[in-house]
Structure 1
């Protein structure tokens, strides 16, 4: 009798062990699962085909791999020219804003101030904020805006250039804004700007590794965690 109880107990324990292992395997196959993240700290590489088509230029909507940001040349709040060469090998967060925005932009910039504080001593991390209203957001205007949020000009660049070039970067590189011809835009009015709450996280190879609602503190918390994961992936101190 005692032997039967022992055998029965072993069978139950074996079944429970198999169930736990299978359950862990199921969740580890999902890219955003805690198990998968803790095992390899590797974030998904985001390509145009993974993103809402409204946010992506039609020419690249079917691209499924090897998407990286394109070359660019903009001026920052100090009047310095910033190009892709300045961000290669760095982890950075990017967004699109305008200085006269009284709605979501201050909320987004406040959240980015949190991100800056988290990585203030990290030489491998940057923030790039692009104006979507370059006719008003001059270098001097953006400098004043940057100072309002205590932005470190060595770590956080507020960028301006031609609206065409900014639009191309938003639609073809960072994949974060709706089409300019979207019916929700009031053409000719203040809302006729590239406007989005989205932050994009870019890795040292110029690939998109995360997208977040920049007005949502919880999603910005996730962004911060993901930056740490990228630092581990690239072995950046």
Structure 2
């Protein structure tokens, strides 16, 4: 049976290309260009700059090790972002556990980085984030817990990551930011997926989608 199957594959490969790998098409995941998360599907990478101008913009915050982390930390890397606070009694502990699953799935992949931005930065100092990181098993260099000026974090969350379900950037920094969303961002800082960080099935899909992004050319 095996030689016959191989021969069929070889012959059909002359006509249509015989692909025995699991590699996906170049742009298998949609792009998200607006805060209403209308998916934009592209067939050719040459269309990206024209049809998907939105990217995660420049930023600069401090992580749990009191290190300055900027957009340079995600340059040429896939990253997953979420928004949390260490004193959150509701959804944040579950989201942190889910982020740890993602971290552990890609702990040896240097092209995957996790960013968790504190939405109570006036409470979540680097020292407090360090203690939280040690308690939750956060790997330094792989997963950054970030703090900084409240207005800058909220602005980045709403205007760059479109972090809330509603059109986030119509809100101002006086309105508390609390969202269960995880955002998947590609190596060029384009948003490629949004997931509910409290749901196991969506986290499993996110892990699969990271793998898909890693195959993009």
1:30-45 correspondence to structure 2 within 5 Å: 39-40=25-26, 42-45=28-31
Q: Does residue 1:141 correspond to 2:128, yes or no?
A: yes
Equivalent residue for 1:115, pick from 90, 102, 125: 102
Unaligned residue ranges in structure 2 (runs of 5+): 1-22, 39-50
Q: Aligned equivalents of 2:189 and 2:37: distance in 1?
A: 17
TM-score (structure 2 length as normaliser): 0.77
Partner in structure 2 of residue 68 of structure 1: 55
Against the structure 1 CA distance between its residues 180 and 101, is the aligned structure 2 distance closer, same or farther, given a 3 Å change threshold?
farther
Task: Provide, for residues 40-68 of structure 1, a one-character-per-residue CA deviation record: whole Å limited to 9, x for no partner.
Answer: 5621011115428xxxxxxxxxxx63110
Unaligned residue ranges in structure 1 (runs of 5+): 1-36, 53-63
Q: Does residue 1:46 correspond to 2:10, yes or no?
A: no
After TM superposition, what 4+ stretches of structure 1 lie above 2 angstroms from structure 2? 37-41, 49-52, 177-182
Task: Provide, for residues 150-208 of structure 1, a one-character-per-residue CA deviation record: whole Å limited to 9, x for no partner.
Answer: 000110000001010001110111001255987xxxx7xxxx63110000001000000
Contact 1:97 1:105 in 2 (8 A): yes
Partner in structure 2 of residue 132 of structure 1: 119
Paired residues, what number? Answer: 180
RMSD of aligned alpha carbons? 2.1
Q: Aligned equivalents of 2:169 and 2:199: distance in 1?
A: 24
Partner in structure 2 of residue 215 of structure 1: 198
Q: Aligned equivalents of 1:180 and 1:39: distance in 2?
A: 33
State which drifts further: 41-50 or 108-117: 41-50
Q: Aligned equivalents of 1:41 and 1:66: distance in 2?
A: 16
Partner in structure 2 of residue 195 of structure 1: 178
Structure number with higher helix proportion: 1
* 1:120 partner SS: coil
Contact 1:180 1:193 in 2 (8 A): no
Greater Cα radius of gyration, structure 1 or 2: 1
